[in-house]
Amino acid sequence: MIIDFDQLSVSDVSRHFGRRRALSRISFHAASGAILGLLGPNGAGKSTMLALLATLMRPSGGEIRYGSHTAKTSGAALRGAIGLLGHDLFLYPELTARENLTFFAGLYGAADARGAGTAALERAGLADRADDAIASFSRGMRQRVALERALIHRPRLVLLDEPFTGLDDGSAAALVARLRGLRHEGAIVILATHDLDLAEGLLDSALFLRDGRSVDTIARPGALRSTYRDVMTRAGLP
């Protein structure tokens, strides 16, 4: 059984690796139908935050709640409501695009896994390459397939770590449109990115991180590049 929720709450969450504090007392809230950006320089803690939200690791302190649920109490049922696209695309290069997506749809218990895989490729604009091996795809095409792999089970919470990496202008525009579609469908989207120009006008809110600490949270940030520069300057980052 897969649970559902329409709110994500992060309260005073910290994560330590020995003496190193990757995150220190981070708090934020995200709701269904919203895109929240995690913004900050390398080493700010963005990827660690996404790993915590994905239940791939546990907080050293604080609490993450998915509606009324926690990872500790809900386990696999909660993970079935989460989709993650990280730096590793988790695709099998020797399989075709259709075989990859059919396989993952089957893992999530789709009644018609092949049909789900075919529909996902159509959404990715890759139906004409459905029966080509992933090994023959460009980085941008693999990224598009991997995004659909992360969304194949229609997750409530979508976690994206630098999803614009390797995309050409057309693929990046398609991704922005896909993310807006997820917002319209009521997903909670958490996006970590350095591509401020592509994120411009996309975010409903932005959490700015530096050295594992929250610097600022801004609703519907405008002029994102200059806003980022101003926030980080106030935080003491050149």
pLDDT digits (tens, 9 = 90+) for 176-212: 999 999 999 999 999 999 999 999 999 999 999 999 9
Domain-located, residue 219? yes
Secondary structure (DSSP) of 3-57: ---SEEEEEEEEEEETTEEEEEEEEEEEETTEEEEEE-STTSSHHHHHHHHTTSS
| DSSP structural state of residue 61 | E
Domain-located, residue 30? yes
Domain-located, residue 204? yes
Confidence of residue 8 (pLDDT cuts 50, 70, 90): very high
Q: pTM of the entire structure?
A: 0.94
Question: Could you read off the pLDDT of 17-32 as tens digits, one per residue?
Answer: 998 999 999 999 999 9
Question: What CATH code is carried by the domain that includes residue 11?
Answer: 3.40.50.300
- Region of 105 on the Ramachandran plot (φ > 0 left; ψ -120 to 50 alpha; else beta): alpha
Residue 169 clears pLDDT 70, i.e. is over it: yes
Domain-located, residue 110? no
Residue 236 clears pLDDT 90, i.e. is over it: no
Report how many domains make up the chain.
1
Domain-located, residue 42? yes
Total H helices, total E strands in the chain: 8, 9
Tokens matching residue 161:
């770590």
Give the torsion through C-alpha atoms of 90, 93, 99, 102, to 10 deg: 0
Residue ranges making up the domain that contains 21: 7-81+155-234
Strands 157-161 and 82-85: parallel
Domain-located, residue 120? no
Domain-located, residue 139? no
Domain-located, residue 65? yes
Secondary structure (DSSP) of 96-135: BHHHHHHHHHHHTT-TTHHHHHHHHHHHTT-GGGTTSBGG
